[in-house]
Amino acid sequence: MISLQINGETYEVDVAPATPLLWVIREQIGLTGTKFGCGMAQCGACTIHLEGQPIRSCVTPLAAAKGKAITTIEGIKDEQGLLHAVQEAWIEEQVPQCGYCQSGQIMSAVALLNDNPNPSEEEIDQAMKGNICRCGTYPRIKRGIQKAAASLSANPQILAENG
Amino acid sequence: MGKWTRRAFIGAGILTGGVLIMGVAIRPGKRIGKVMGLIAEEDETVINVWLKINPDNVITAILPHAEMGQGVHTALMMMLAEELEADWDKLRFMEAPADKEYANYVLAKGFMGEMFNIPSFLDKTVDGALLMATKSMGLQVTGGSASVRFTGAAGMRVAGASAKAVLLQAAADKWSVPLAELRAEKSYIYHDKSNQAGPYADFAKEAAELSVPAKPKLKAPADFKIIGTSPPRIDIPAKVDGTAQFALDVKLPDMKYATIQSPPVFGASLKSVDQTKVQDMAGIHKILEIGDAVAVVADGYWLAKQGLGKLQIDYNTNGNEGLNQADIYAKFAQALDQRDQLKTDLEVGNPLKALESGELASTHEAEYRVPYLAHSAMEPMNATATFKDGKCEVWVGCQNPLGFRIAVADALGLKLEDVTLNNMMMGGGFGRRSETDIAVQAALIAKELDYPVKLIWSREEDTRQDYYREATISRFKAAMDEQGMPKVWLNQFVYKMHPAEGSHIPYAVEHQMQQHTDVELPIPWGNWRSVAHSNHAFFTESFIDELAHQAGADPLEYRRSLLKENPKVLKVMNMAAEKANWGESMPENHGRGIAVHTSFGTTVAQIAEVSVVDGKLKVHRVVCVADPGYAVHPDNFIAQIEGGAVYGLTAAMHGAINIENGAVVESNFHNYQMLRMDESPEFETYIINSYDAIGGGGEPGTPPIAPAVANAIFAATGKRVRELPFKDADLN
DSSP symbols for B404-427: HHHHHHHHHT--GGGEEEEE-B-S
The model's pLDDT over B477-486, given as tens digits with 9 standing for 90+, comes to 999 999 999 9
The whole-angstrom separation of Cα B186 and Cα B190 is 10
- Angstrom CA distances, A139 to A43, B139, B459, stand at 17, 35, 26
- The shortest C-alpha distance from A141 to chain B (Å) reads 9
Pairing type for strands A53-56 and B511-517 reads unpaired
Peptide bond into B253 cis (omega under 30): no
User: B251: which chain A residues are within 8 Å (Cβ-Cβ)?
Assistant: 30, 32
Which among A19, A31, A96 is the nearest to B302, CB-wise?
Answer: A19
The whole-angstrom separation of Cα B690 and Cα B627 is 7
| pTM given for the model | 0.91
Would you list the DSSP string of B426-475?
-S--TTGGG--HHHHHHHHHHHT-SS-EEEE--HHHHHHS--BBPPEEEE
Best B257, B280, B302 member to test A by mutation, with max A CBs in 10 Å, is: B302
Among B511, B711, B509, smallest CA distance to B617 is for: B711
Residue A83 pLDDT grade (very low, low, confident, very high; cuts 50, 70, 90): very high
pLDDT value at residue B610: 98
How high is the mean pLDDT of chain B? Answer: 87
Say if residue B305's pLDDT is above 80: yes
Q: Give φ, ψ of B532 to 5 degrees.
A: -65, -20
- The shortest C-alpha distance from A145 to chain B (Å) reads 12
Cβ–Cβ under 8 Å, residues A86 and A47:
no
pLDDT value at residue B216: 79
- CB contact under 8 Å between A99 and B238, yes or no, is yes
Residue B73 pLDDT grade (very low, low, confident, very high; cuts 50, 70, 90): confident
pLDDT value at residue B474: 98
- CB contact under 8 Å between A102 and B240, yes or no, is yes
Residue A157 pLDDT grade (very low, low, confident, very high; cuts 50, 70, 90): low
Give residue B627's Cα distance to chain centre: 18
The whole-angstrom separation of Cα B403 and Cα B576 is 41
Closest residue of chain A to B305, computed from CA coordinates: A39
Closest residue of chain A to B683, computed from CA coordinates: A139
- CB contact under 8 Å between B243 and A33, yes or no, is yes
Is the dihedral angle over the CA atoms B631, B634, B638, B643 positive or is it negative? negative
Say if residue B16's pLDDT is above 50: no
- The shortest C-alpha distance from B378 to chain A (Å) reads 6
Of residues B411 and B50, more confidently modeled: B411
- The shortest C-alpha distance from B537 to chain A (Å) reads 20
User: A136: which chain B residues are within 8 Å (Cβ-Cβ)?
Assistant: 642-647, 650, 675, 680
* CB neighbour list of residue B495: distance below 8 Å, 6 or more residues apart: B470, B472, B516, B518, B519
User: A82: which chain B residues are within 8 Å (Cβ-Cβ)?
Assistant: none
pLDDT value at residue B35: 23
* CB neighbour list of residue B282: distance below 8 Å, 6 or more residues apart: none
Q: Give φ, ψ of B32 to 5 degrees.
A: -75, 165
Residues making up chain A, counted from first to last: 163
The model's pLDDT over B187-220, given as tens digits with 9 standing for 90+, comes to 999 999 999 999 998 988 788 777 777 677 889 9
Closest residue of chain B to A106, computed from CA coordinates: B240
Mean pLDDT, residues A10-35: 97
What percent of chain B stands above pLDDT 70? 85
Give residue A2's Cα distance to chain centre: 23
Best B67, B257, B398, B677 member to test A by mutation, with max A CBs in 10 Å, is: B677
Q: Give φ, ψ of A70 to 5 degrees.
A: -105, 135
Would you list the DSSP string of B475-543?
EEEEEE-TTS-EEEEEEEEE---SSGGGG---S--SEEEEEEE----SSPB---TTTHHHHHHHHHHHH
- CB contact under 8 Å between B248 and A32, yes or no, is yes
Cβ–Cβ under 8 Å, residues B331 and B519:
yes
User: B380: which chain A residues are within 8 Å (Cβ-Cβ)?
Assistant: 36-37
The whole-angstrom separation of Cα B615 and Cα B415 is 60
- CB contact under 8 Å between A98 and B429, yes or no, is yes
- CB contact under 8 Å between B427 and A98, yes or no, is yes
- CB contact under 8 Å between B643 and A137, yes or no, is yes
- CB contact under 8 Å between B69 and A98, yes or no, is yes
Say if residue B114's pLDDT is above 70: no
- CB contact under 8 Å between A94 and B427, yes or no, is no
Best A98, A138, A145 member to test B by mutation, with max B CBs in 10 Å, is: A98
- ipTM, interface predicted TM-score of the complex: 0.96
- CB contact under 8 Å between A99 and B69, yes or no, is yes
Q: Give φ, ψ of B450 to 5 degrees.
A: -110, 30
- The shortest C-alpha distance from B251 to chain A (Å) reads 8
Q: Which strands form B602-613's sheet, in the order they lie side by side?
A: B590-599, B602-613, B616-627, B682-687
Residue B391 pLDDT grade (very low, low, confident, very high; cuts 50, 70, 90): very high
Say if residue A18's pLDDT is above 70: yes
Cβ–Cβ under 8 Å, residues B725 and B652:
yes
pLDDT value at residue B120: 40
Local structure of residue B113 (DSSP, 8 states): H
Mean pLDDT, residues B220-240: 94
Among B682, B673, B686, B692, smallest CA distance to B641 is for: B686
User: B459: which chain A residues are within 8 Å (Cβ-Cβ)?
Assistant: 37-40
- CB contact under 8 Å between A38 and B669, yes or no, is yes
C-alpha neighbours within 13 Å on the C-beta side of residue B541:
29
User: A77: which chain B residues are within 8 Å (Cβ-Cβ)?
Assistant: 241
The model's pLDDT over B249-302, given as tens digits with 9 standing for 90+, comes to 999 999 999 999 999 999 999 999 999 999 889 999 999 999 999 999 999 999
Best A26, A134, A137 member to test B by mutation, with max B CBs in 10 Å, is: A134
Say if residue B2's pLDDT is above 50: no
Pairing type for strands B49-53 and B19-28 reads antiparallel
Q: In the A/B pair of chains, how many CB contacts fall below 8 A?
A: 179
Local structure of residue A63 (DSSP, 8 states): G
Say if residue B663's pLDDT is above 70: yes
pLDDT value at residue B56: 87
- CB contact under 8 Å between B668 and A38, yes or no, is yes
Which among A23, A99, A126 is the nearest to B678, CB-wise?
Answer: A126
Say if residue B495's pLDDT is above 90: yes
The model's pLDDT over B312-350, given as tens digits with 9 standing for 90+, comes to 999 999 999 999 999 999 999 999 999 999 999 999 999
User: A20: which chain B residues are within 8 Å (Cβ-Cβ)?
Assistant: 302
pLDDT value at residue B532: 96
Of residues B127 and A58, more confidently modeled: A58
Residue B182 pLDDT grade (very low, low, confident, very high; cuts 50, 70, 90): very high
The whole-angstrom separation of Cα A55 and Cα A108 is 9
- CB contact under 8 Å between A136 and B647, yes or no, is yes
* CB neighbour list of residue B43: distance below 8 Å, 6 or more residues apart: none
Mean pLDDT, residues B440-457: 98
- CB contact under 8 Å between A27 and B301, yes or no, is yes
Cβ–Cβ under 8 Å, residues B426 and B399:
yes
- CB contact under 8 Å between B639 and A94, yes or no, is yes
Helices (H), B581-729: 634-654, 705-717
pLDDT value at residue B48: 32
- Residue B244 in 3-state DSSP? coil
Best A15, A138, A140, A147 member to test B by mutation, with max B CBs in 10 Å, is: A138
Mean pLDDT, residues B504-521: 97
Closest residue of chain B to A28, computed from CA coordinates: B300
Say if residue B501's pLDDT is above 50: yes
